[in-house]
Structure 1
Amino acid sequence: MDIRNIIKNGVEIALVDSSEILINDTQSALDLMATIRYQTGADRFVLNKSVIDENFFDLRTGLAGEILQKFINYQVKAAIVGDFSNYSSKSLRDFIYESNKGKDIFFLPNEEQAIERLSKI
């Protein structure tokens, strides 16, 4: 795992890159959040969707709700980047739409848009 720290508009944002899955349950999400804070001090970060287990994107598992609630409880703001168009679930599309209207969790197509969004909130 590689964590780069950038500053945009005076806001610290951690960019997390990995070739392996980093989040496969609630505990691994908490561990990642703690690692990012410890290594960078940032409470905002960008993850590629490839580092998240596919069960996250099946809302019936409850994994997305559990993990994102932990992020909110610990006052973390996160952007998950990637192509979400291949998911056919209406409930997931609605979930992504509603998340993007908020101020804590975003699902965006690329890192540039994620950095822009996280630096303005």
Structure 2
Amino acid sequence: MTTNTLVTLHDVRVLRLASDGPSLDGESAALDLIGDAMGQDAELVAVPVERVADEFFRLRSGVAGAVMQKFVNYRVRLAVVGDVSWHVTESTALRDFVHETNQGSQVWILADFDELEAKLRLHN
């Protein structure tokens, strides 16, 4: 298993998760990641899309809302990083959700780490 890494991007401490490991599949997994982030004084958790459960992208499941709410409540930012185009093409609601989410500064769903770095440059 590859290890998670702590990096600083534009003065933001980012816990960058390895592509393998437990799936982000609900509130319990979110709390585990938040605890890891807080333990390392990270302000943002960058989760590769490979680690995100498919249910997260099915908005009716409620997983995305529950996960995001935990991150907001604990004031730890979340970035889901990777290609979500397949999910977005399957759901207009998800496409709109991703667009709206990316307008804020707390939770982002981004194509790659370069886009994350660009977001942090603008929102810090």
Say whether the fold is shared (TM-score over 0.5): yes
Distance 1:42 1:6 in 2: 9
User: Is residue 31–residue 70 contact of structure 2 (8 Å, CA) maintained in 1?
Assistant: yes
Partner of 1:69: 69
Instruction: Mark the runs of 5 or more structure 2 residues left unpaired by the alignment.
Output: none
Instruction: Mark the runs of 5 or more structure 1 residues left unpaired by the alignment.
Output: none
Root mean square deviation of aligned Cα: 1.5
Query: 2:82 is aligned with what amino acid?
Result: G
How many residues in Structure 1 have an aligned counterpart in Structure 2? 120
Distance 1:79 1:115 in 2: 11
Q: Structure 1: which 4+ aligned runs deviate by more than 6 Å? A: none
Instruction: Report the secondary structure of 1:17's partner residue.
Output: coil
User: Is residue 43–residue 77 contact of structure 2 (8 Å, CA) maintained in 1?
Assistant: yes
- Tell me how far 1:4 sits from its aligned partner: 1.0
Instruction: Report the secondary structure of 1:68's partner residue.
Output: helix
Partner of 1:51: 51
Partner of 2:27: 26
Distance 1:85 1:76 in 2: 25
Deviations 1:47-100 (A, max 9, x none): 111101111100010110011011111111111111111121011111000000
User: Is residue 21–residue 53 contact of structure 1 (8 Å, CA) maintained in 2?
Assistant: no
Partner of 2:106: 104
- Tell me how far 1:11 sits from its aligned partner: 1.9
Q: TM-score, normalised by structure 1?
A: 0.90
